[in-house]
Amino acid sequence: MSAAVGRTGPTGSFAAAVAAAHSAGELVVQPRMGFPTVEQMGFGLGAVRGARARTVGTITLDSYTRVGDHASAARALERGEDLNGFPIVAHGGRTTREMIAAAGAGDFAIQVRHGSPLPLGIVRALIDAGLDATEGGPVSYCLPYSRTPLAEAVEAWARSCEILAERVPGAHLESFGGCMLGQLCPPSLLVALSVLEGIFFRRHGLRSVSLSYAQQTSFPQDVAALAALRRLAGEYLGDTDWHVVLYTYMGVFPRTVPGALALLRESARLAALTGTERLIVKTSAEAHRIPTVEDNVHALETAAEAARTATASPADRPEEGEAEQLLGEARDMVEAVLELHSDIDRALPAAFARGYLDVPYCLHADNAQLARSHIDRRGRLRWSSAGRMPVRDVPGGTAASVGAEELLGMLSHVQNTFDRAALDPAASRDPLPAAGRTRQEAK
């Protein structure tokens, strides 16, 4: 259980909604959808609120807004051009408030999701719109998505956190640190980055946070990672109200509908069995097109049902010593960063400069690019090379040992596993324990 359980929740509507659901023993499920017009976005929020599930809403922003090009977003709206999300700055706070009210979602918990390394304008816009929750972080919204220098992103996120904390009582911020690049990042680094961003948020005034983790390639390894995330959050976040959010697999998604739904259900089962409070879903349309509102509602309802009926099996448990090793690696990384400087704003860039943090296959200029990973024969994500990170017992291999063909195979590993199992369960020899094992698929 998170540190928030058993205490009065913060006044922020988003955090309070998640806390209330957890107290009732229900998993909160959430989409990532965003649409450009007030009519489309309002319809989507209303549909999510009406889904047969315990939901919170999402307003995902467009690419122009993410990079601060609000003039281009406004021109696109004027011309009726398509955008890949909701341009909250171009629409303005009053319009966004009116949209939410017209959708009948005035008391519905909503989070703004964006992907910006320089989020100050977005934070001001969501505050003006009466919203209290967003996500990202100085590392997690910088390295994967931009060429912005890390030190500049840290400064911008520090100011954004402070403004959010000053102007919105109970404001909630979610770290995206557990989702770096979506895949091929060993779980210990995901856990460490999420915890470090949680510490960053806390030191800049926020007292309601969530820590993320993205479903990876091995159910037992993910169980160990989520346990480590909770353990370290309890140790490092003090009296902060916090919860954990799991993301359905963010890499290459299965192309078959049965395979995609099996992977979605497995993420819900993982969330349910680990006591995770919130799940960000993906839809069965991910491999083919931008999901519709209907796709998202179906995914929310499918995940909620899978969570309600989840059962455990012996194959779900981590191997002996696996959880302890993962926890030790993550703790070593967190401590190595915090020992660099008492000011985390300086410690984070210094950690990347020294290679104490190093995201595999991330090409950002501030990333050391010495670390590499691989998927072992049991389906676990392992280090091939840890570079200068404080990781012990790295098996043999160098950064150059993963070739292009192997890398492509790793990127499609989960997709192929779940598609094979969906088409012919007897044909799957993959160690992933999930495909075809939820109650729904057994019926």
CA distance 230 to 76: 43
> What mean pLDDT is predicted for residues 344-348?
98
3-state SS string over 406-417?
HHHHHHCHHHHH
Whether 360 maps to a domain, the answer reads yes
Whether 442 maps to a domain, the answer reads no
Q: Convert the pLDDT of each residue in 129-169 to its tens digit.
A: 999 999 999 999 999 989 999 999 999 999 999 999 999 99
Instruction: Give the CATH number for residue 302.
Output: 3.20.20.240
Q: Convert the pLDDT of each residue in 371-386 to its tens digit.
A: 999 999 999 999 999 9
361 touches 387 (CB < 8 A) = no
Regarding predicted confidence, which is higher, 255 or 8?
255
Mean of per-residue pLDDT scores for the chain: 90
Name the strand (E) or helix (H) holding 423.
helix 413-423
CA distance 204 to 312: 39
Residue 189, pLDDT > 80, answer: yes
Whether 367 maps to a domain, the answer reads yes
Residue 7, pLDDT > 70, answer: no
436 touches 421 (CB < 8 A) = yes
Residue 100, pLDDT > 80, answer: yes
> What mean pLDDT is predicted for residues 21-42?
97
By residue range, what is the domain housing residue 281?
Answer: 1-436
Global pTM? 0.92
Residue 117, pLDDT > 50, answer: yes
Residue 395, pLDDT > 80, answer: no
pLDDT at position 440:
30
143 touches 150 (CB < 8 A) = yes
Whether 66 maps to a domain, the answer reads yes
> What mean pLDDT is predicted for residues 69-79?
97
The residues with which 66 forms a beta bridge, in sequence order, are none
Q: Convert the pLDDT of each residue in 13-25 to its tens digit.
A: 899 999 999 999 9
pLDDT at position 106:
76
Whether 443 maps to a domain, the answer reads no
pLDDT at position 415:
93
Q: Token pair of 377, please? A: 């024969």
Where does residue 251 fall: left (phi above 0), alpha (psi -120 to 50 degrees), or beta otherwise?
A: beta
pLDDT at position 392:
83
Whether 441 maps to a domain, the answer reads no
CA distance 295 to 281: 11
pLDDT at position 287:
85
Q: Convert the pLDDT of each residue in 264-323 to its tens digit.
A: 999 999 999 999 999 999 999 988 888 999 999 999 999 999 999 999 999 999 999 999
Whether 326 maps to a domain, the answer reads yes
Q: What backbone torsions phi and psi does residue 239 show, to the nearest 5 degrees?
A: -90, 15
Q: Token pair of 342, please? A: 């008492």
pLDDT at position 97:
94
387 touches 227 (CB < 8 A) = no
Residue 89, pLDDT > 70, answer: yes
31 touches 50 (CB < 8 A) = no
pLDDT at position 407:
85
Residue 192, pLDDT > 90, answer: yes
Q: Convert the pLDDT of each residue in 234-269 to its tens digit.
A: 999 989 999 999 999 999 999 999 999 999 999 999
Exposure on the CB side of residue 273, measured as CA atoms within 13 A: 23
Q: Is 382 exposed, middle or buried (0-12, 13-18, 19+ CB in 10 A)?
A: middle
> What mean pLDDT is predicted for residues 78-90?
96
Whether 379 maps to a domain, the answer reads yes
**pLDDT more than 90, % of the chain:** 82
Helices then strands (H, E): number in the chain? 17, 10
Neighbours of 87 (CB within 10 A): 26
Regarding predicted confidence, which is higher, 403 or 49?
49
DSSP string, 104-121: T-TTS-EEEE---SS-HH
Residue 229, pLDDT > 90, answer: yes
- When divided into structural domains, the chain yields a total of 1
> What mean pLDDT is predicted for residues 22-46?
97
> What mean pLDDT is predicted for residues 170-199?
95
344 touches 338 (CB < 8 A) = yes
> What mean pLDDT is predicted for residues 316-341?
96
Highest averaged pLDDT of the listed ranges 4-13, 220-229, 280-289 = 220-229
pLDDT at position 425:
65
pLDDT at position 406:
82
